[in-house]
Amino acid sequence: MNIASRAKTSKVAARPLGLALANKGNLELTFIGAGSAFSKKYFQNNLLIVKGQTHVLVDCGSRAPEALSLLGLRVSQIDRFLITHTHADHIGGLEEVMLTNRFVAHRKPRIILTGKLQKILWDQSLRGGASWNEVVDGQPLGFGDFWDPERPRRVKDADREYSVWSEGDLEIGLFRTKHIPDSSAGWEDSFPSYGLLIDQRVLFTSDTRFDRDLVVSMDAAHSLETIFHDCQFYKGGVHASLEELTRLPAKIKAKTWLMHYGDAMEDKRQAIKEAGFAGFAEEWATYSF
Ligand SMILES: [Zn+2]
Ligand SMILES: [Zn+2]
């Protein structure tokens, strides 16, 4: 894996950075942001996947349109979105995406999500800001007026709820995580949230509480090359704490990059190095495989 960083000082550059939406066919992952939900120093943990002519923006938080703009992209240039769950740091930018696409760019982006998540996303999050902007044949707009949904195919007999989406030679597996509420025992009784297995080589947890079995079993099944795991610097809460993650086997920690971090990240660099992690995923850096 190669890492190409973009200087953070570029954030204030007059000319935005160009971030390409296509490449020669290798897998490239760029963190549009890598901060926690309420971070003020880092953008939110949203990831751009590019492989050949295909690109997917994984989550689009409330600050994602700003981050994309600084990287030289408009939200209407993104062809395809994938939503892992309905917290605002993952979906808060979607109203801008919907309204800009429908009323300015006059196009309908694709969105990868399960039927279960689509219903939650529309009925409980997006409808209020989107539906009544236009009435067609006496009806306010619906999800399908803004989006072209793509359903991942469910894999039967998987250890946990698992479905797969693919296009060309990019494959993304979606597995359930145990994120909220903090009282849930496992993924089964958690509100729907998904992590990703990208090309069977990279694990991207999105948001989950510590789930040793998930990481260890995914690594055993796929000999993972790299893991991007969410973290928090305190105990309790709805993400894996640094203390819990430190208990993972050394060989797993060595390929694990921590993401979705709080503003105290710089103060923790030495500690995570000593604990044996690969490092912090850096926002705006492109990880190439
Ligand atoms: Zn989050
Ligand atoms: Zn979340």
Following CA atoms 173, 161, 119, 137 in sequence, which dihedral angle do they give, to the nearest 10 degrees? 60
- pLDDT exceeds 80 at position 6: no
Is the pTM here over 0.85, yes or no?
A: yes
Reported in sequence order, the residue ranges of 169-249 that DSSP labels E, i.e. its strands, are 170-176, 194-198, 202-204, 226-230
Taking residues 130-159, what's their average pLDDT?
97
Domains of the chain as residue ranges with CATH: 2-288 (3.60.15.10)
CA of 33 to the centre of ligand 2 (A): 14
Tens of pLDDT, residue by residue over 192-250, are 999 999 999 999 999 999 999 999 999 999 999 999 999 999 988 899 999 999 999 99
136, with CB counted inside 10 A (0-12, 13-18, 19+), is exposed
Task: Kindly give the distance from the C-alpha atom of residue 59 to the centroid of ligand 1, in angstroms, as a whole number.
Answer: 9
State the distance from the centre of ligand 1 to the C-alpha of 138, rounded, in angstroms. 37
Which is it for strands 194-198 and 170-176: parallel, antiparallel or unpaired?
antiparallel
Distance 66 CA to ligand 1 centre (A): 17
- Measured distance CA(18)–CA(69) in Å, rounded: 10
Among 7-21, 87-101, 156-170, 206-220, which is the least confidently predicted range? Answer: 7-21
CA of 136 to the centre of ligand 1 (A): 35
What distance in angstroms lies between residue 132's CA and the mean position of ligand 2's atoms?
27
pLDDT per residue as tens digits for the range 155-202 = 999 989 999 999 999 999 999 999 999 999 999 999 999 999 999 999
CA of 97 to the centre of ligand 2 (A): 20
